[in-house]
């Protein structure tokens, strides 16, 4: 069994900066999400991540299902078992079709989804593929999804890359 690497911050022994972030997390989320036990060791970083995380949680341009496609795809890309387990459930609850969830879990590009949702699945797959995106594909994403959606996908993938890497580095396993 792997040692507990998380080193949670005890709120009664937290620094003034940590206490301020903990209070903000409590106001916005009612708890300290697991990744913040990593980031709170650097309170200024945790403060910034809280702003980004709250934004991602309440995206003004992505539906909950679209956000979950980006999150689950990112977790699978990084092989982050803890994040995969949590967001597989969230994706299904948010209305992501089971066939899309299965494709993502199998590291396949979801196929056959119509409209904006299908195009968003393509964009996420292209972004995580790591190569360059040709001009015609970019032009389609720009025209049909728009720059705000593209920006939101980049931030969501980046934020959940940090979460996925952190959960894996700290050897967190999904709860059975």
pTM for the structure as a whole: 0.92
Cα–Cα distance between 91 and 77 in angstroms, integer?
16
Three-state DSSP at 148 gives: helix
Residues 6+ apart with CB under 8 A from 6: 34, 37, 38, 170, 172
Number of CB atoms found within 10 A of residue 141's CB: 21
- Which pLDDT value is given to residue 8? 86
| Region label for 130, one of left (φ > 0), alpha (ψ between -120 and 50) or beta (otherwise) | left
pLDDT along the chain (176 residues), means of 10: 76 91 84 89 94 92 97 97 95 97 95 92 94 93 97 97 95 80
Evaluate whether 113 touches 121 at the Cβ level (below 8 Å). yes
pLDDT at 2: 59
Quickly list DSSP for 25-66.
Answer: HHHHHSS--TTHHHHTTSHHHHHHHHHHHHHHHT-SSS-HHH
Q: What pLDDT shows up at residue 72? A: 98
The pLDDT of residue 176: 64
What pLDDT sits at residue 122? 95
Domains of the chain: residue spans and CATH: 11-57 (no CATH), 64-169 (1.20.1290.10)
Tell me phi and psi for residue 161, to 5 degrees: -65, -45
């Amino acid at each position: 069994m792997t040692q507990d690497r998380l080193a949670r911050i005890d709120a009664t022994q937290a620094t003034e900066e940590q206490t301020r972030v903990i209070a903000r997390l409590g106001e916005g989320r009612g708890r300290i999400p697991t990744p913040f036990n990593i980031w709170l060791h650097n309170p200024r970083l945790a403060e910034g991540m809280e702003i980004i995380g709250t934004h991602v949680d309440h995206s003004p341009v992505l539906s909950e299902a679209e956000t979950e496609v980006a999150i689950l795809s990112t977790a699978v890309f990084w092989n982050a078992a803890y994040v995969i387990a949590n967001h597989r459930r969230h994706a299904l609850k948010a209305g992501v079709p089971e066939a899309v969830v299965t494709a993502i879990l199998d590291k396949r590009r979801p196929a056959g989804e119509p409209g904006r949702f299908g195009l968003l699945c393509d964009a996420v797959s292209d972004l995580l593929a790591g190569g360059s995106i040709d001009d015609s594909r970019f032009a389609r994403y720009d025209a049909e999804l728009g720059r705000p959606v593209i920006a939101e996908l980049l931030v969501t993938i980046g934020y959940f890359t940090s979460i996925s890497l952190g959960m894996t580095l700290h050897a967190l396993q999904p709860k059975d």
